[in-house]
Chain A
Amino acid sequence: MSASSAFNDEKGGSSSVGEPEYGHDPASGGIFSSDYKRHDDLKEMLDSNKDSLKLEAMKRIVAMIARGKNASDLFPAVVKNVACKNIEVKKLVYVYLVRYAEEQQDLALLSISTFQRGLKDPNQLIRASALRVLSSIRVTIIVPIMMLAIKEAASDMSPYVRKTAAHAIPKLYSLDPEQKDQLIEVIEKLLADKTTLVAGSVVMAFEEVCPERIDLIHKNYRKLCNLLIDVEEWGQVVIINMLTRYARTQFLNPNMNESLLEEENDKTFYGSDDDEEEEKEKKAEAPLPRRKPYVMDPDHRLLLRNTKPLLQSRNAAVVMAVAQLYFHLAPKVEVGVIAKGLVRLLRSHSEVQYVVLQNVATMTIKRRGMFEPYLKSFYIRSTDPTQIKVLKLEVLTNLANETNISTILREFQTYIKSMDKDFVAATIQAIGRCATNIGEVRDTCLNGLVQLLSNRDELVVAESVVVIKKLLQMQPEKHSDIIKHMAKLTDNIQVPMARASILWLIGEYCEHVPKIAPDVLRKMAKSFTNEEDIVKLQIINLAAKLYLTNSKQTKLLTQYVLNLAKYDQNYDIRDRARFIRQLIVPTEKSGALSKYAKKLFLALKPAPVLESPFKDRDHFQLGSLSHLLNAKAGGYQELPDWPEAAPDPSVRNVEVPEWTKCSSREKRKEKKVEKPFYSDSEGESGPTESADSESDSASGSEIGSGVVGSGSRTASEESEEGSESEEEEEKDKKMMTAKKELKKPVQESESEQSSEEEEERKRERKKSKPRKSESDDDDDSESESSRSESEDSESEAEVKKKKKAAASRPPAKPLKKESKKEMSLLDFDDFEPAPPPHVTPLNSFLSSSLVTDLEGLSLSDAALSPATLSPSGAMKSYELLHRIRGEGLSVEYCFSRQPFSPDANMVAVQMQFTNSGAADTKSLHMEDVKLQSGMRVKEFPEIELLPAGETATAVMGIDFCDSTQAANFQLCTHTKKFFVSIQPPVGELMRPVFLTENEFKKEQGQLMGMNELSEKLTLDAECRNEHAIVQRVTAAANLSRVPCGSDKECRFAGRTVTSGSLVLATVVTKEAASAQLTVNCEKMVIGTMLVKDVLLALTQ
């Protein structure tokens, strides 16, 4: 028998007995007995030992439950089958149990032991489903058992079971809130879980149990950001929403520098400029020198960057979540990206449209420019449901400005003819709002509305009257004929609101229509008793106003009306009449107030402001239920305001013992010795590669589970299997070789390394079977690093190429060593020089992940680098060693831009040593060069003697590997050692090449798309001619001019020194001072930095 027949049986049975379950009449014994009987055969089937019979019975019971019928009396018979071998029966029994256990707590307890056994089952699906059911049974008595089960499951091998544990947490919490503290511990543990499967569910649990414990997120923040793209869709929504809140508490407002600007804009909101957006862009680009520059926290940037791809999700909820995140967190310039995604959702189901339009309506009020290009996507079709039409209308109204108003009004005109009268009414209101907001079209709108007054549909006329009333209030003197026209309408219009509006208008402006007004009052007095309350009140008002201005004609009428009102049924009207009589009709007793009656009634009233109902709705988090309802829903977490000062960002650092780089980095940051970090990820190709393979095998080894490293899910990832021990060996080997590479290391750092290595080994040995703690950290950093790699804007293939190149390159040259002694102004003593990252893979993982984290920051760093700030001159020299720090020895260096003859791939650095001390300096040379992998240095020849007061120059070559990573080394004299570092501005990493115009165009054509970056800029006042531009660009970057036919365009070309990638730059000047800078470069990182540098050079 199939399920369908079971259902039909069931249905037939129930209808024949007349839905007994709904009849709560215990006295109807007959029905009860038949019901009892029927369940009897079910019981029999359940008791049989045939699985098929049991299954049949269970199916029928579930069908009953599905239709909301009561099957609770079968509980004892069903619960017996909880241990049934047949999986489907078992599942159906579970369904039954969960439904009725709350009602039959004692009996439900019988099943508990089965679940407890299930929790130990080797099959993960059974473990998970046992936990699911156990936690779904809402029986308070088993709370301790549940707690225990959850705790155990939270450290289960299987991520699926851990996920189930995460789901169980809110269940237990809702059953017994007392358990909160213990549950938070479990949440904390699960938050640290590295699998994508668990992430969404545990954040959900976090949101339900302890959303206020934002501190639990710190340590997991970066991991969540990085895992996000691989989490399932539903988890993504929850995580993004939570991270929005988190970011609001932890980061600074990226738009804070513009807050002043914003105020200005608000004033001119409706009558404003088109290029508002553009302007803002410019302002955001050009760092304002006087204000404290805002530097986005790298973690903030990380969040924005990692959520952006999700705008392409097929899931509307994910797109909305990202959109709200950008709306609430992104700098103004970047918010625009979400518009496209949201407009796309408008093609979806009407429910989705409804929600999206609500949110778009709120967004358009704050950021109109964002949706302006998509104006036409909000045009209304006759087939749209009314609620969608009204929302689209709202958006169109919000988007209206001087430039597009004519188009919008033309659209509105077609809407007015619609059959959907509610929609027409909304359109008329929308026209009214456009008219109030945009002064230029006010007359046009008013005329249009007046024409509508002759429309045959009363609703249309009435709505027009109401809107006209509001518009007239702005400039009544000009429109007395309209008022007259409206006065005539009182005969026809029956809609109370419209009548009331007309009466109010006539009363208010009775001086403009002195002849008509008394006549209207006469008519109204006649029909007074039949009017609606709201109209009556306006009649009284009209009478009072006329009495005050024209008492001769209207005195009697007024008294008549007041008398009628005196006996009205509505007490408001009676009150009003009494009040007005006292006020306007002079008697002996009349108080002081009556003198002011005229002032009271005919005071100038401010014109109403027609506002969008969506104004200020954005104090609710967009996309939330509360926003939609414009009321706080239960469990809604307020979106906090930005903090005044950023909380400590280091809380998000993941602790890695023995590792100082991170903190040292922070210190460096404080000391303003800033470096762009992302070159790390390029230079480090060696270790990154190893990290990659590790993450592959890790995901393979973890019971085929989804550790899921990266965005690049390759097939090889799944197939690749590697035993863990093998991997470890490999890792060790790598460490060894890496160590060897570093020839003749200084003892100190050597020992440090080896101790670190030992630590590492110990830890690895300690690794217990389910790779916990430390290994988890590994996983994390691995996934991060591999992500960072793919993040690296270059195609994977290219990365591989580079890796090969890096591998084939000879290791760094041996360095001479000398006694060392340190004397520094900047006290570097408080941190050890970071070991080169290729020493231990661990470090490199984290550092490279940090690198990506910090990418946003480093961009601005590059902008602040000294090279570009100094005035453009022939050759900029930089200080390597200050006179005081060098105890008399000062060293300056500059990039001579000469080819470095010993090695063409090196950048020549010319150094000038000045001995301003009293004693001679001897044996000046360099040693202990610390480089990122791939980088090389050709030392300058030792200077034997530098007498006091003398100057000497030397040239060294550095192969920066096309990165702006600094070369660190020690400068040694016979007595001292100085730590110094040379960091090249990006413009020095290239050498000029000569191209013809055609070649240039051809090359440029091949470097389009991702390889092309262009920025608009406003040229500095002193830099408006071609000559100046060429000078500034060539000063900022070592490029050569390419001939060009047009004098509006300057072109430059160069190749990077190491890899020889082409770098093309074009500056096109336009009218006034605006110009556009385009950089085409295969290496996007170089490109981005170059844009920044050149931009600075041209604008300052």
Chain B
Amino acid sequence: MIHSLFLINHSGDIFLEKHWKSVVSHSVCDYFFEAKEKAVDPEDVPPVLQTPHHYLITVHRDQLFFLSVVQTEVPPLFVIEFLHRVADTFQDYFGECSESVIKDNVVTVYELLEEMLDNGFPLATESNILKELIRPPTILRSVVNTLTGSSNVGDTLPTGQLSTVPWRRADVKYTNNEAYFDVIEEIDAILDKSGTTVFAEIQGVIEACVRLTGMPDLTMSFMNPRLLDDVSFHPCVRFKRWESERTLSFIPPDGHFTLMNYHVSSQNPVAIPVYVKQNISFFESGPCGRLDITIGPKQTMGKTVEALMVKIHMPKAVLSANLTATQGNYTYDLPNKLLIWDIGKLNPQKLPNLKGILSLQAGAAKPEDNPSLNIDLRIQQVAISGSPRFVSTYNWATVFSHCSICFSPLCTGLKVSRLEMFGEKYKPFKGVKYVTKAGKFQVRT
């Protein structure tokens, strides 16, 4: 299956290579470099390349290319998904996935890669298992290790490997038992020039952070599961229970994980939280254009819109922007032709406005079309578990009765009604937070 892996940075240096079968010369990457040259954007490099003897399957993550060499037929998604899983693991272990971090931890990285694949076939990809095999580096541990000579490598088989719940390690112990869930909903929308919704849908995800002792068995039920149209689960979720009762029943992995992704059925109307008035025009005569953008709240249900940000990919001819913003700051990134206007909180009384002149390259033709606006925003439901300590002073029942009374999540109204724990005796702290965000939110101009 996966023959070799090369990690390549943006400038085209191969800074790590790992071979699971016989060694493949790194010259094979030349084909990739060739394709990379051709592509304008790194995103445009085809993920699958064919060379005379090999196939190269590449993933672009965090400014790095994960290039794997494959010799025979293999489902491309298999490799792509695996490479992303490798990147996720690095992220999980080192906090970020960057060239310098990988170089600093090259031995751990190598040990990880060694455990993740055997003969090119995935062996252990669950973070809980890997962490038992190879402990993530911490400052304390590296100090202890240098002093005592003990190692970062486990010498027994991780319990997860053989159990029916491979995603959870055994003997988890915490003094504070907590389980937090973030229900994050993203609005994907395309609005056209006049502000009409061309396409809008809601994608949700439940991110969990569970720190519970022992083998807890959790059950989460929703007030209105009917909203959910399409779901995908972490392997820990018992699908049968979901099918029959529409409740999530699972033994959680330890730590952070994504419990579920969902898609809200298209029958439900999507509330578009903001409207945009824009006017971008380029003049036929004279090397300049005018830009005028105003953003106002639309359907926010009385919630504040935060972290509002507008990104505009300008046409190539735009040299600079001379604008004034009534609120927030704007920056114009010349090499990438990217105008970013960071607004922050949306004040309904005084609508933010960005106005001014765009100057064009002398002699360049007037851009045919106007750039589209990408909008980022975030609507936080009053965070009931905003700070873990806040929650832990309440008991669970209060927290949840609160949640069903005062918090009506903006987007779909998906609400967690109950979270129960079986299998362990202690009382954990539990909390749920609802956030609405803009996903791929685009305004065409």
Q: Which residues of A contact B (CB under 8 A)?
A: 1-4, 6-7, 50-52, 55, 59, 62-63, 65-68, 86-89, 91-92, 95, 99, 102, 123-126, 128, 132, 135-136, 138, 158-160, 164, 167-168, 170-171, 174, 197, 201, 204, 208, 229-230, 232-234, 237, 241, 309, 312-317, 319-321, 340-341, 343-344, 347, 349-352, 354-356, 376-377, 379, 381-383, 385-387, 411, 414, 417-419, 455-457, 623-626, 628-629, 631, 633-637, 699, 703-706, 708, 711-715, 717-719, 790, 793-796, 1009-1010
Contacts and interface: CB of A to CB of B under 8 A. Distances in A.
Contact of A67 (B16, B156, B245): B16
Q: How large is the interface on B (under 10, 10 to 19, 20 to 34, 35 or more residues)?
A: 35 or more
Contact of A321 (B75, B155, B232, B233): B75
A95 B110 contact: yes
B394 interface: no
Given A237-B75, A317-B75, A352 B368 contact: no
Contact of B75 (A241, A411, A419): A241
A688 B414 CA distance: 38
B82 A351 contact: no
Interface string B325-360: 000000000000000000000000000000000000
Nearest to B188: A347
A971 to B, nearest CB: 42
Contact of A383 (B121, B244, B313): B313
Nearest to A161: B157
Interface string B418-444: 000011000000000000000010101
Interface string B99-112: 00001111111110
A316 B81 contact: yes
B151 A87 contact: yes
Interface in B209-240: 215, 217, 229-235, 238-240
B325 to A, nearest CB: 23
Contacts of A457: 368
A201 B215 contact: no
Given A313-B235, A414-B444, A634-B73, 14 more contacts: A66-B16, A67-B106, A102-B22, A234-B121, A309-B240, A314-B258, A316-B80, A347-B261, A349-B59, A351-B59, A383-B440, A419-B368, A715-B215, A718-B215
Question: Could you say which of A51, A418, A623, A718 has the most chain B C-beta atoms within 10 Å of its C-beta?
Answer: A718
A238 to B, nearest CB: 8
A127 to B, nearest CB: 10
A590 B106 CA distance: 80
B263 A3 contact: no
A355 to B, nearest CB: 5
Contacts of A344: 230, 232, 261, 263
B365 A456 contact: yes
A622 to B, nearest CB: 9
Contacts of A343: 230
B151 A382 contact: no
B17 A68 contact: yes
B440 A379 contact: no
A385 B44 contact: yes
Given A320-B77, A711-B239, A382 B442 contact: yes
A312 B146 contact: no
A92 to B, nearest CB: 7
Contact of B162 (A87, A347, A456, A704): A704
A197 B163 CA distance: 9
Nearest to A166: B121
B283 interface: no
A297 B289 CA distance: 68
B157 A387 contact: no
A713 B365 contact: no
A320 B75 contact: yes
B295 to A, nearest CB: 19
Given A4-B104, A197-B161, A383 B374 contact: yes
Contacts of A126: 155
Contacts of B44: 385-387
B74 A625 contact: yes
Contacts of A51: 149
A379 B75 contact: no
Contacts of B272: none
Contacts of A229: 239
B22 A355 contact: no
B360 to A, nearest CB: 14
A128 B118 CA distance: 11
A706 B80 contact: no
Contacts of B444: 382, 414
Interface of B: 1, 14-19, 21-23, 26, 40-41, 43-44, 46-48, 50, 55, 58-61, 70-78, 80-82, 84, 103-111, 114, 118-119, 121-123, 125, 137, 142, 146, 149, 151-157, 161-166, 188, 190, 192, 198-199, 201, 203, 215, 217, 229-235, 238-241, 243-246, 251, 258, 261, 263, 313, 315-316, 365, 367-372, 374, 422-423, 440, 442, 444
A381 B241 CA distance: 37
Question: Could you say which of A66, A629, A712 has the most chain B C-beta atoms within 10 Å of its C-beta?
Answer: A66
Nearest to B259: A314
Nearest to A389: B44
A355 B369 contact: no
Given A2-B146, A132-B118, A381-B190, A87 B153 contact: yes
A66 B165 contact: no
Contact of A124 (B70, B137, B157, B245): B157
B81 A352 contact: yes
Contact of B73 (A1, A158, A164, A636): A636
Contact of A170 (B110, B119, B123, B151): B119
A371 to B, nearest CB: 14
Given A68-B26, A201-B121, A352 B114 contact: no
A777 to B, nearest CB: 21
Contacts of B43: 350, 385
Given A313-B235, A625-B73, A354 B47 contact: yes
A110 B7 CA distance: 33
The 5 A-B residue pairs with the shortest CB-CB distance in the complex, in nearest-first order: A635-B72, A88-B151, A417-B369, A385-B43, A636-B73
B156 A123 contact: yes
A59 B14 CA distance: 19
A314 B234 contact: yes
A81 to B, nearest CB: 14
A633 B367 contact: no
Contacts of B372: 381-382
Contacts of A356: 77
Contacts of B21: 171, 174
B81 A317 contact: yes
B68 to A, nearest CB: 11
B118 to A, nearest CB: 5
B152 A715 contact: no
Given A2-B146, A3-B105, A623-B75, A66 B110 contact: yes
A1070 to B, nearest CB: 21
A694 to B, nearest CB: 16
A87 to B, nearest CB: 4
A635 B73 contact: yes
Contacts of B118: 132, 164, 167
Nearest to A623: B75
A703 B159 CA distance: 11
B240 A790 contact: yes
A456 B368 contact: yes
8 contacts: A88-B151, A314-B235, A340-B263, A349-B84, A352-B80, A356-B77, A699-B164, A713-B165
Contacts of B109: 66
Contacts of B149: 50-52, 55, 86
Contact of A625 (B19, B75, B103): B75
B73 A160 contact: no
Given A314-B232, A1010-B244, A1 B146 contact: yes
Contacts of B84: 349, 351-352
A456 B155 CA distance: 69
